[in-house]
């Protein structure tokens, strides 16, 4: 039987089979081809979606907005302030109201339990645009980018996540790698390894799909022979400013440097979900440079700007993949 995701929510990748994830990736590629050739694809004309953001965003918001508009849908954006949600109105009541007006709901916020509740109570598909625990739409863009660079043959390749490997992005990467047969390495200090429950959930999935999961605190072991090198900010949204000092001390050995990149496979690529602190051209970057004397954090500017860096393709792919998720679940 073919894959049918109509009416489903997209809350975390553990809820999806390998076949369903591969279907979403293939659909993303098709939608990208349509966009590239200027072929209209207003398949969801007459539908409307609402985007709820408790945290800031550039890529995720724009990907949902452009993706929805390309599909012919109307879009409402509700930002961190301005709606009643959370202050005067519970998540449950918000879900029930929005479900009466919209065909789908995107949520970026602090708690995974909130996006789960929206899905349970709204009666329409809900898409997780990032929570404390997961960032599932990001993964589709990441893997599409990996596919594009390795001729759509990614099984048996090795992806290493360098740095804060307990965060939402690293956890999600471990799941999608396990589901798609890509070897996954989490490389960082032990305090920053992914939680045991996620590792235990992923191990049997990886075994079933013929790939491995490795946790290491040795940057040389992590990087040697890797096909894909991935990193993310050292302090995620929602974490207190006070953790910067500790993270800089813990994670500096795991910065993606040209020296470490030299250990990777000949045709390796560098990915980052973005935004990235690869220079001091941001207010936070400049502040960290002033306070700690660190001018590049999770990745050296030379790597970020190198031939191996595919971060802008990856950012573009957010749009094609998010469009695929909306189309697959709303059609
Ligand atoms: N990668 C990502 O989610 O970016 P934004 O925070 O800009 O949405
Ligand atoms: N781990 C980061 C990802 C940003 C896209 C955060 O949660 O802030």
Left, alpha or beta for 267 (phi > 0: left; psi -120 to 50: alpha)?
alpha
Q: For 51-101, how does the pLDDT look when each residue is reduced to its tens digit (9 = 90+)?
A: 999 999 999 999 999 999 999 999 999 999 989 998 899 999 999 999 999
pTM of the model: 0.98
- Which pLDDT tens digit goes with each residue over 106-161? 999 999 999 999 999 999 999 999 999 999 999 999 999 999 999 999 999 999 99
Q: Is 60 in the pocket of ligand 1 (CB under 6 A)?
A: yes
Closest CA to ligand 1's atom 1: 273
Question: In the structure, what pLDDT confidence band is assigned to residue 169 with cuts at 50, 70 and 90?
Answer: very high
**Residue-averaged pLDDT of the chain:** 97
Ligand 2 centroid–CA 275 distance in Å is 8
pLDDT of residue 1: 63
State in Å: Cα 207 to ligand 1 middle.
31
Decide: 237 in ligand 2 pocket, CB within 6 A: yes
Residue 89 bridge partners (DSSP): 85
Q: Is 60 in the pocket of ligand 2 (CB under 6 A)?
A: no
């Amino acid at each position: 039987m073919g894959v049918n995701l109509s009416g489903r929510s997209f809350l975390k990748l553990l809820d999806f089979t390998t076949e369903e994830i591969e279907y979403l990736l293939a659909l993303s590629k098709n939608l990208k081809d349509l966009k590239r050739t200027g072929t209209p694809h207003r398949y969801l004309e007459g539908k409307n979606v609402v985007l709820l953001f408790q945290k800031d965003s550039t890529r995720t918001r724009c990907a949902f907005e452009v993706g929805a508009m390309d599909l012919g849908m109307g879009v409402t954006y509700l930002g961190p302030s301005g709606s009643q949600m959370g202050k005067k109105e519970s998540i449950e009541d918000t879900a029930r109201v929005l479900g009466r007006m919209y065909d789908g709901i995107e949520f970026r916020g602090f708690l995974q339990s909130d996006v789960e509740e929206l899905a349970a109570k709204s009666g329409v598909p809900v898409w997780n645009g990032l929570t404390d625990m997961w960032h599932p739409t990001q993964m589709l863009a990441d893997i599409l980018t990996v596919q594009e660079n390795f001729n759509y043959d990614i099984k048996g390749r090795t992806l290493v996540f360098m740095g804060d490997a307990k965060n939402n992005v690293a956890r999600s990467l471990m799941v999608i790698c396990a589901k798609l047969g890509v070897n996954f390495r989490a490389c960082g200090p032990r305090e920053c390894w992914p939680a045991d429950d996620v590792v235990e959930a992923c191990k049997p999935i990886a075994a079933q799909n013929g790939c491995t999961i490795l946790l290491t605190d040795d940057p040389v072991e992590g990087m040697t022979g890797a096909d894909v090198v991935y990193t993310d900010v050292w302090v995620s949204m929602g974490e207190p400013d006070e953790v910067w000092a500790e993270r800089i001390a813990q994670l500096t050995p795991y910065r993606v440097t040209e020296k470490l990149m030299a250990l990777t496979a000949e045709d390796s690529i560098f990915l980052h979900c973005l935004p990235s602190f690869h220079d001091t051209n941001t207010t936070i970057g400049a502040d960290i440079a002033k306070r700690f004397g660190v001018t590049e954090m999770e990745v050296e500017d030379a790597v970020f700007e190198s031939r191996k860096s595919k971060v802008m393709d990856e950012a573009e792919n957010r749009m094609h993949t998010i469009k695929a998720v909306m189309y697959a679940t709303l059609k």
